[in-house]
Amino acid sequence: MIRIKSIRLALPTLCLAILIAVTARPVQASIAIHPRLDGPDRYQTSATIAKQFSDEVVDHVVLASGQDFPDALSASVLAHQLNAPILLVNKHPHNSPDALAYIETHLSRDGKIFIIGGDGVIGAEFDSFFIDNGYAVERLGGEDRYATDRLTADALNSEPGGTVYIASGENFPDVLSVSSFASQAQAPILLVKHGSIPLAIQDYLQIQQPKQVYISGGAGVVSLEVESQIQALLPEATLTRFSGNDRYETAAQAYEQIAPYPETIYIASGSNYPDALSGAPLAAQKGDPILLINPSTPIVPDTIAAYLTQLYINGVTPSVTALGGPGVVPDEVVHNVVNLLNGQAQSPLFMIRTVDSRLVMEKSIFPITKESYFFNIDTYKDSYSGSFHSSIQDKLYNYMLNQGHQVSVHNRAVALHSGILINNCVYFQAEALRRVGFNIPNSMANVAKFSNYLTKLGFKKDTNIKSLKPGDIVFTVKNTHTYTFMGWVNPGSYDYAYIVDNQARSFGGQVYHVRKVNGVDPDLNTDPMAFFMYYQD
């Protein structure tokens, strides 16, 4: 008789918070943070993770696409069985220098390369290139993602009656959350459609008759009809479904069930697949979880935070390693993971770094180079005093010259947006105006509504860029952004300006930075000014 379990988190977040408050804290060692494994892009990150996996000679490597996730999702279990790293590649060898460099320096001369996916995803030039260089090559590529998945599962040569994981082949998060666990157990990950099981996967299940089946994902991604089909195919199996309201809750259920005592917590973006996929063989060495996070906020998702807090309560002290750069795994998230593992509260604030003195501009530089977007504010803060549209703009300008005020306004904007680090420009500008005496609702978040509200408060609108003065509030075309103008880089050029806004994360942690006002910035692709506003005394 089939047995079905549905996993739910043992302690919801609120209960955990109460438990921490009333329970004596266990004595624990400090949490170690290892250097993040990253590179300028997903391909170099993949090579960096591969070197961490093994910087010695390996007998096998597995190549997966860094552009298309479906075929790549099948790779992690095979890689673990072969004790091989996963290297992400582009479609053609000449666009994949990092993978080729790793193979040249780490793959034994009689080693074998497994290519996951058809030549429409990873070009046939790879096969001929490697064969010409004396390597054995095996390509596992079917007519679609499900056929490729079946070929990869067959390559494992699993004994009948074992364990399999079922996940959607139409999206990646629920596969990534269990990839290291499936790999460590050498259990194939079988991809299904939302409402049906592809014939190749049905055939595999009928032949193998696994006794334990884990379904990763709720009914919205793997339907109840698919679950019923599995029950009919495998009448003696035990089914366990990890099912949450979103990818993070689903992942947390898997972590709690399968990884109650991890040695290392690996952190990767839940918004894309490459870094988590590359890290799966590394995490699988000890059966450690790959923690999926939302890179747009420093706050760890509630259900995953509950899992981390439970580790603290249980006295578990894993180390922490980020997979990918700070753009996909922000430093703030890493620190909040550590806070939770130490039984401490999360911080919703974005960490503003001090200005790097190496980037001081002693004189105006034109045209602007990328380095010149960063500078020492003290060089310029007195350049434009005495030229304002009103006493309000004078007050706003001088208030925002102070770096402490910049940090405070920025972090307040992030907090008002529930810890989210992007799309905060109105929160930022409205908070700055509140600091100089204006009563603007904390909920104000829309650019167009913000400009209309300023009109009601008595602000005047102007489109003449030559009339811009420090402290004026600029609005871009299409209402995409708003910021406070602080002065021209080269007075009279009406091109690049010093501004303050919410985009410190893109400018080395500096709220005060350079932006192109007139025209589209070729480096940052920012929109030009549409109009500006200032208060009339």
Q: Per-residue pLDDT tens for 439-457?
A: 999 999 999 999 999 999 9
3-state secondary structure of 238: strand
- Predicted TM-score (pTM) of the model is 0.69
pLDDT value of position 386 = 55
Mean pLDDT of the chain, nearest integer: 87
For the chain, the distance separating the N- and C-terminal CA atoms, rounded to the nearest angstrom, is 81
Decide if 78 contacts 62 (C-beta within 8 A): yes
More confident residue, 333 or 375: 333
Task: Give pLDDT, residue 22.
Answer: 34
Query: 17-47 burial, b if ≥16 CB within 10 A, otherwise e?
Result: eeeeeeeeeeeeeebeeeebbbbeebbbbbb
d(CA 113, CA 149): 17
Helices (H) and strands (E) in the chain, counts: 18, 18
DSSP state of 506: G
- pLDDT tens digits, one per residue of 4-59: 555 444 434 433 333 333 333 444 568 999 999 999 899 999 999 999 998 899 99
Judged against a pLDDT cut of 90, whether residue 263 lies above it is answered with: yes
Determine which of 134-148, 203-217, 384-398 has the lowest per-residue pLDDT on average.
384-398
Q: How confident is the model at residue 366 (pLDDT cuts 50, 70, 90)?
A: very low
Strand 212-216 to 238-242 pairing: parallel
* Position with higher pLDDT, 349 vs 535: 535
**Which pLDDT band, with edges at 50, 70 and 90, does 526 fall under?**
confident
Pairwise CA distance, residues 185 & 214, whole Å: 12
Separation CA 49–CA 191 (nearest Å)? 25
Question: Strand pairing partners for 290?
Answer: 266
| Other Cβ atoms within 10 Å of 333 Cβ, number | 24
Q: Using CB atoms within 10 Å of the CB of residue 443, give its burial: 0 to 12 exposed, 13 to 18 middle, 19+ buried.
A: exposed
